[in-house]
Structure 1
Amino acid sequence: MTAPLIQISDVSKRYDDGPPALDSLTLRIDTGEAVAVLGASGSGKSTLLNLIAGLDRPTAGSVTVDGVRVDGLGEAASAKYRRARIGMVFQFFNLVDDLTVHDNVLLPAQLAGVPRSEATARADELLERLGVRRHAKAFPGRLSGGERQRVAVARALMNRPSLLLADEPTGALDTASGREVRDLLTALHREGQTLVLVTHDVTLAQECATRTLELVDGRLSRDVRHGLAEKASTVGGAR
């Protein structure tokens, strides 16, 4: 059996003296999976995502991603790990308002020390592929919510991460924009991108994920594997 992309082993996370945000969680996620993590507010979804991203550390247990013991990394090594292996998409986009769309997408490559010509070519490719190249010189505030989320996805893919993490990627979008982002994520997974999505959006989970996890009070209460419905996706030329 090949090694998992993500191995969560007996992980617990406590904040102060309250109940555990995660409670003795063990979980394996393989390369190529699209996993949706569901649960009520306070169930531990965002905590799980933060531990995988190296933004937080467990109180107990271990987190290994793509062969890296994430829970043992220092601050500098953790930042390097995220630049090299993780792409992150947030509910409210987290774009830099005073940078153009093109410069927002370039940012991860610049931080990673990628040569300017190579990074520019990659940014142009992603903006074209995701259907927002015409906005390259615009500032994020001029774009619709769906367009901003497409730019955020382009930025997340800039350094060709082995894992794309998305925290409520449709949560701030209207119905039409949410549909566009769902189609985009589905297309990316069909191309082989491993996804972990934290969401309240049941439709997102049904349409994008090959596996659904449900957390209740920091514990895994449901783990269901299922196939994606066969359908063509033409959004942004992302196929």
Structure 2
Amino acid sequence: MTATAPVIDIRDVTRTYGEGPPALAGVTLSVRAGEAVAVLGPSGSGKSTLLNLVAGLDRPSAGSITVDGQRVDGLSEARSAEYRRAKVGMVFQFFNLLDDLTVADNVLLPAQLAGLPRAEARERATRLLEYLRIDRHADAYPGRLSGGERQRVAVARALMNRPALLLADEPTGALDTASGDDVRELLAELNARGQTIILVTHDLGLAESCATRTVELVDGRIVRGTAGIGDIEGAAAVSP
């Protein structure tokens, strides 16, 4: 990619399911390396659909999605899984940790799936656990941790393969106020260190503290914010 090329380039993406109204309708959005973009909007507005399309968990009905120079909108299931392992880290509202694995083994799982050498994977996991201040829980099981600690484990797992892109779907939605504040600080710190992030949230405080830019979706369309990268080479920008 060139220095000005976006990490994420979404062009005129529509996603329909059956005969109902589209979940997304003509969405265009571009994200540069190092940006943290918060996607806001009411329930049912298409936020999670957008995240799933970028993650390669779903395919658009029309339009194109390019991530880190790779078209991802038409990949097979096997190639989509390879793409996620190589380029995407995901953080979920309810953590999605495996309760029968220790914290360390949860964090190691993406590296094992990607075939990273065992010694290198363990060294990387140890550094991540130390950086995220959960190394003392390495041998504990997720059920013994607080919500905020479990979300830190989930973030460590998402970062394990050094993804170009971190996707976070309502990362504070299941947390109390104190734990939510902790996760906000963590995401802001990760972005300050250069991690590109797209986060879906209802939490305006999270968006204000973590995001370098916000967009709002309503009924599958961007109604507020900007498309980015010169508004996609001249496409009309929505109102700020």
What interval of TM-score do these two structures reach, taking the shorter chain for normalisation?
over 0.9
Provide the rounded CA distance (Å) in 2 between the counterparts of 1:216 and 1:38.
Answer: 9
Q: 1:13 aligns with which of 12, 15, 19?
A: 15
Other-structure match for 1:191: 193
Other-structure match for 2:5: 3
Secondary structure of residue in 2 paired with 1:188: helix
Shift in Å, 1:44: 0.5
TM-score, structure 1 as length reference = 0.93
Provide the rounded CA distance (Å) in 1 between the counterparts of 2:187 and 2:56.
Answer: 23
Alpha-carbon RMSD across the aligned residues, in angstroms, is: 1.0
Provide the rounded CA distance (Å) in 1 between the counterparts of 2:34 and 2:193.
Answer: 9
Q: Which runs of 5+ in 1 are unaligned?
A: 226-239
Q: How does 1:205-224 map to 2 (within 5 A)?
A: 205-223=207-225
Provide the rounded CA distance (Å) in 1 between the counterparts of 2:20 and 2:32.
Answer: 32
Provide the rounded CA distance (Å) in 1 between the counterparts of 2:176 and 2:13.
Answer: 36
Provide the rounded CA distance (Å) in 2 between the counterparts of 1:29 and 1:130.
Answer: 26
Provide the rounded CA distance (Å) in 2 between the counterparts of 1:158 and 1:28.
Answer: 25
Q: How does 1:49-64 map to 2 (within 5 A)?
A: 49-64=51-66
Provide the rounded CA distance (Å) in 2 between the counterparts of 1:208 and 1:157.
Answer: 17
Provide the rounded CA distance (Å) in 1 between the counterparts of 2:93 and 2:172.
Answer: 7
Aligned residues: 225
Other-structure match for 1:163: 165
Other-structure match for 2:230: none
Q: Deviations over 1:192-239 (max 9, x none)?
A: 0000000000000000000000001000001169xxxxxxxxxxxxxx
Residues 1:126 and 2:128 aligned together = yes
Secondary structure of residue in 2 paired with 1:87: strand
Provide the rounded CA distance (Å) in 2 between the counterparts of 1:220 and 1:91.
Answer: 23
Q: 2:41 aligns with which of 39, 42, 46?
A: 39
Provide the rounded CA distance (Å) in 1 between the counterparts of 2:4 and 2:226.
Answer: 21
Q: 1:23 aligns with which of 18, 22, 25?
A: 25
Where in structure 1 do 4 or more consecutive aligned residues deviate above 3 Å? none
Residues 1:201 and 2:203 aligned together = yes
Q: 1:173 aligns with which of 165, 175, 178?
A: 175
Q: How does 1:26-105 map to 2 (within 5 A)?
A: 26-105=28-107
Q: Which runs of 5+ in 2 are unaligned?
A: 228-240
Counterpart amino acid of 2:42? A
Provide the rounded CA distance (Å) in 1 between the counterparts of 2:36 and 2:208.
Answer: 11
Other-structure match for 2:118: 116
Provide the rounded CA distance (Å) in 2 between the counterparts of 1:201 and 1:27.
Answer: 21
Counterpart amino acid of 1:49? L
Provide the rounded CA distance (Å) in 2 between the counterparts of 1:148 and 1:134.
Answer: 13
TM-score, structure 2 as length reference = 0.92
Shift in Å, 1:72: 1.3
Provide the rounded CA distance (Å) in 2 between the counterparts of 1:100 and 1:166.
Answer: 22
Secondary structure of residue in 1 paired with 2:9: strand
Secondary structure of residue in 1 paired with 2:19: coil
Provide the rounded CA distance (Å) in 1 between the counterparts of 2:139 and 2:76.
Answer: 37
Provide the rounded CA distance (Å) in 1 between the counterparts of 2:174 and 2:191.
Answer: 22
